[in-house]
Amino acid sequence: MLVTEKLGKKYGEFSAVEDLSLEVAEGSIFGFLGHNGAGKTTTISMLTTLILPTSGRASIGGFDVVKDNLKVRSMIGYLPESVTLYGDLTATENLRFFGRLSGVEHLDANIEEVLKLLDFTGWKDRKVKTYSKGMRQRIGIAQAILHRPRILFLDEPTSGLDPRGTKDMRDILLKLNAEWGTTIFMNTHLLSEVTKVCTDIGIISKGRLLLADSLDTIKKKFPEEKSLEEIYFRIEVGKR
């Protein structure tokens, strides 16, 4: 579904991402781990066609993110780290706007379906600025899946959410993956969330990919470490 080959992004002399080679299988939930400033958001920005790579290549569903960017955009959904949407518009109006931009057919039916899936129908006609952070995040997810993307990119989806909101978000992602078969690529630094949601993980540090494999395989590779946290620090420290 997603393949990168020696993908890189430089800002002048500074390498934000370097030689990133990665494969994400269709139907998997991939957790991209790394501390703040490791290069996670830069990677997701290149994969979602928001910025251009300075080296290497990446493709989604066989389409190059640079050459076929419009095709890639019609296949992906994206939720940035902190998004407020249009506060003066209702949830339905926001979704209608983003749905139209994505060229969604049968828009009203799709909106109903998505809101039902996210258990949000009772709030759909209230202005977004009156929502809590958790509710806004739900509508954020709704705009990202409205056009039934094959792959969903999430940048720190549980950032700033309370425990209830975090659990709800986790349940939504698992439901999407199970019911719609959506591949999910999520940036996070919350290791506890990764173990509960992800099937595969990648660890990035200082712009370089340190490890990428299925969660089960990684656990087998590090039998002495009791948790993903211990594995993460072992890999991080080992590379320093």
The residues of the shown chain that bind another protein, judged by CB under 8 A, are 48-52, 70-71, 73-74, 76, 78, 80-89, 93, 97-98, 100-103, 143
CB of 101 to another protein, least distance (A): 4
Angle at 138 between CA 157 and CA 178, to 5 degrees: 75
Nearer residue to another protein within complex by CB, 42 or 205 = 42
Contact between 17 and 46 under an 8 Å Cβ cutoff? The reply is yes
Cβ distance to another protein smaller for residue 85 or 218:
85
Q: Which residue spans within 34-181 are E strands per DSSP?
A: 55-60, 63-64, 76-79, 151-155
Q: Which is nearer to another protein, 103 or 122 (CB)?
A: 103
Smallest separation, CB 71 to another protein (Å): 8
Cβ closer to another protein: 136 or 215?
136
Residue 32's nearest CA partner among 182, 213, 168, 167 is 213
What is the nearest approach in angstroms of another protein to the Cβ of residue 61?
14
Residue 226 beta carbon to another protein: minimum distance, rounded to whole angstroms: 37
Find the shortest distance in angstroms from Cβ 152 to another protein: 11
Question: How many angstroms separate the CA atoms of 91 and 118, rounded?
Answer: 12
Q: For tokens 């493709």, what's the residue? A: 59
User: Least distance (Å) from another protein to the CB of residue 83?
Assistant: 4
Q: Say if strands 2-11 and 29-33 run parallel, antiparallel, or are unpaired.
A: unpaired
Q: At residue 102, what are phi and psi to the nearest 5 degrees?
A: -85, -5
- Distance between CA atoms of 118 and 126, rounded to whole angstroms? 16
Residue 110: closest CA among 150, 151, 147: 147
Residue closer to another protein (CB basis): 81 or 113:
81
Q: Which is nearer to another protein, 47 or 201 (CB)?
A: 47
